[in-house]
Amino acid sequence: MSTTETSTRIRVQYVDPREVVIKANVRTQVNLTREFVASIKRHGVIVPVIGYPGEDGRVTVEEGQRRILGAIEAERFEVPAYIVPESDTEAIRIIRQLIANDQRTALTDGERAAAWKQLELDGLSVTAIARELGEKPKRVKAGLAVVDSEVATNAVTEHQLTLDQALVLIKFEDDPELVRTLEESARNNPDGFAHYAQRLRDQRDTDRQVASLIEGFAQRGIRVIDWPGWDDKTTARVEDLEYADGAPLTIEGYEGKPGHAIAVHESWRGVEFGHFVTDFKAHGLRKPSATGAPVGKWTEEEKTERRTLIANNKAWGSAEVVRREWLASFLSRRTLPKDALPFAATVLVAHTSQLRSALDDHHAVALELLGFEYKWGTRSPLAPLVEHNPAKTGTVLVAVAVAAMEGATSKNTWRNPTSDDVAYFTALQGWGYTLSEVEDLVLGISPQPNPADEDDAPVDEASTPDETDVAEPADPESDAADSDPDHSGPTDVVDQDTDGE
């Protein structure tokens, strides 16, 4: 045993954690995380515990029970200890523990990331840093990316965002306004941050696609106009017009001629563009004679329902991305919730339609969630995974069951949830997943207004009929409601989404 005398009353010595006595501690629960134990296993206990010699010669530890228990778990049987005189009273001992715990300030995420960056500059890889410190490589990688971004670093140090939240901001650092709204979302609604960020990502992707199309048409010398509104009586689709002699116009035949223009917009179908003629009467064109369809108008309630339907369908698409990312992380846990296997068993024996669809698709969703990809003509990776690692059997069963339920969801789920859908989303919520507003609808929970969402994903007004020039109103949720009464005809859809209405 090595002993170093530091004063007449205090000395430092190494003790065997299996032989010490641990006094009652102010900590009622000892959280021996995997990372904590891994760090001790690799580096040993660095900060000495505090104890005093007992009458039987064994050291009684007053402060440091977590380090002692962690050392036993890590099988590191030499722990440094400050050996001090026994406390005069029980009250003094407790005061020592409170002071030691209260005054030990944990490193912030920003400080950790800065230290990781220094280790990287010293030549350590992400894997090496994670291994040495008992961190997850994904977290270290996120921290290094945050340090390299001024916007993300400021979000962590000034606004107390987590590394994962700050990492999201990097993709928006060219737009200070979006960065500000994301910081507000992280502060005011941290549980919903992932959903809000994904909606912004999707909307930004859509906006960029629209801008790219407009730029492409402009470079070809084609005039680009705003999508005509319902009250525009001078602009019509090329397909809806004819010459004075009754011959119909075609896109191929009229492109580049007087009044021809392209309009691009976002609708429930995705990003689409159409060919129009502006001021068509002045160019000697006309609309075919009316069909005699009765004239009607949509009520404000129907218009509101229509806007809600479009907005919720978009929100569902964003939520699906977040949900599946969460499921992949959930299935990577070492230990799944106790009710996960019973849930899986219920799905496998009772939800035959969902399971049959998953089988027909070779469990594509389950493979995606577990990080695999099915290749036609080959054996599914799931079987070898269980064969080579039987401990993964439960995880694979849960993955297959959850993926079967997940694969059966669609944009129709929020409008017409079945009892199976309710059971599935209830299970996800019980396992710690934060439902978005549109997913709350599956469980019958009405959304609460969120100030951060007020400007989210603008609804295309051109998709909503105007009272002054509308055919007979249709059910806002029917396919007929998606047609354009004034500008009927084919539309070039850039991002077709067939999983909608």
Joined together, the tokens standing for residue 44 give 């040993």
Question: Which residues on neighbouring strands pair with residue 228, listed in sequence order?
Answer: none
**pTM for the full model?**
0.68
pLDDT per residue, tens digit, the chain (501 aa), is: 444 444 446 788 899 999 998 876 656 567 788 878 888 888 888 888 888 888 788 899 888 888 999 999 999 999 998 888 776 556 556 555 555 555 555 678 888 888 888 888 888 899 888 887 778 888 899 999 999 999 999 999 888 899 999 999 999 999 999 999 999 999 999 999 999 999 999 999 999 999 999 999 999 999 999 999 878 899 999 999 999 989 999 999 999 999 999 999 988 778 999 999 999 999 999 998 655 444 456 788 888 888 888 899 999 999 999 999 999 999 999 899 999 999 999 999 999 899 999 999 889 999 999 998 777 777 788 888 888 889 899 999 999 999 999 999 999 999 999 999 999 999 999 999 999 999 999 999 987 654 444 444 444 444 443 332 333 333 333 333 333 433 444 566 664 443 333
Q: Let me know: does 196 contact 453? Beta carbons within 8 Å.
A: yes
pLDDT, residue 146, reads: 92
| Nearest CA-CA partner of 193 in 27, 434, 478, 432 | 434
pLDDT, residue 97, reads: 59
| Nearest CA-CA partner of 116 in 93, 137, 90 | 137
Q: Let me know: does 12 contact 80? Beta carbons within 8 Å.
A: yes
pLDDT, tens digit, for every residue of 425-467? 999 999 999 999 999 999 999 876 544 444 444 444 444 433 3
* End-to-end Cα separation, the chain, in angstroms: 75
Using DSSP's 3-state secondary structure scheme, residue 277 falls into strand
Q: Say how far apart CA 71 and CA 51 lie, in whole Å.
A: 16
Q: Let me know: does 11 contact 52? Beta carbons within 8 Å.
A: no
pLDDT, residue 431, reads: 96
Using DSSP's 3-state secondary structure scheme, residue 427 falls into helix
Q: Say how far apart CA 484 and CA 474 lie, in whole Å.
A: 11
The domains located in the chain, with CATH, are 3-102 (3.90.1530.10), 109-188 (no CATH), 204-302+480-493 (no CATH), 308-453 (no CATH)
> How many residues can be counted in the chain?
501
Sheet of strand 11-15: strand arrangement: 3-5, 11-15, 79-83, 49-53, 59-63, 21-22
pLDDT, residue 98, reads: 58
Backbone phi and psi for residue 21, each to the nearest 5 degrees, phi listed first: -105, 130
Backbone phi and psi for residue 276, each to the nearest 5 degrees, phi listed first: -130, 165
Q: Which helix (H) or strand (E) holds 12?
A: strand 11-15
pLDDT, residue 395, reads: 94
Give me the helix-helix angle, 109-121 and 150-159, nearest 10°: 140
pLDDT, residue 468, reads: 29
pLDDT, residue 27, reads: 61
Q: Let me know: does 191 contact 197? Beta carbons within 8 Å.
A: no
Which amino acid is present at 420? Answer: D
Q: Which residues of 482-498 are buried (b: 16+ CB within 10 A; e: fewer)?
A: bebbbbeeebeebeeee
Q: Which residues contact 239 (CB under 8 A, 6 or more apart)?
A: 248, 249, 250, 251, 275, 489, 490
